[in-house]
């Protein structure tokens, strides 16, 4: 495999990390707006404030994951060794956090809400995390 093919393929992973980071931050902002009662989508309008409070901690996790995902994606464009290690950690967290919902959707497909867009972020992060993690392990020598 030529050096240019490796670099362009890694660019896809770098962009995926940055895009997923932005989506996680966007999801966190919406969670915080939901928690504050500023924005409540129609499908959540009947839920009590105690039930909405669960979105607060998920918002903090999404912000941290999104921020560090963007940092790793930018660092990997510069082929920094620390960025590869950070990306491995972020991708593994994305996979681990997606295991439970993915398993639930596989065993009970009717629970997958097609209209709830965060489900797609979870699905993309899970699949992208697995592929990206394997890709980084295969191409790790370029960061030495």
Q: Give the position of tokens 């490796």.
A: 6
Residue 67 clears pLDDT 90, i.e. is over it:
yes
Domain residues for the domain of 67 are: 3-143
| Total domains present in the chain | 1
Average pLDDT over residues 2-20: 72
Q: Give the position of tokens 């670099």.
A: 7
pTM score, whole prediction? 0.75
Given pLDDT bands bounded at 50, 70 and 90, which one contains residue 59? confident
What element of type H or E holds 48?
none
Q: What was the pLDDT predicted at 141?
A: 73
Q: Are 62 and 25 in contact (CB under 8 A)?
A: yes
Q: What was the pLDDT predicted at 134?
A: 93
CB atoms within 10 A of CB 132: 25
Given pLDDT bands bounded at 50, 70 and 90, which one contains residue 52? very low
């Amino acid at each position: 495999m030529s050096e240019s093919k490796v670099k362009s393929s890694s660019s896809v992973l770098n962009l995926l990390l940055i895009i997923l980071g932005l989506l996680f931050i966007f999801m966190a902002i919406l969670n915080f707006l939901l928690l504050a009662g500023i924005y409540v989508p129609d499908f959540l309008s009947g839920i009590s404030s105690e039930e909405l409070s669960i979105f607060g901690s998920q918002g903090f996790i999404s912000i941290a994951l999104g921020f560090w995902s963007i940092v790793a994606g930018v660092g990997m464009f510069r082929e920094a060794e620390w960025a590869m290690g950070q990306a491995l950690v972020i991708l593994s967290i994305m996979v681990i956090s997606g295991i439970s919902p993915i398993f639930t959707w596989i065993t009970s497909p009717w629970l997958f809400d097609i209209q709830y867009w965060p489900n797609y972020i979870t699905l993309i992060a899970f699949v992208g995390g697995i592929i990206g993690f394997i890709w980084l392990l295969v191409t790790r020598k370029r960061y030495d």
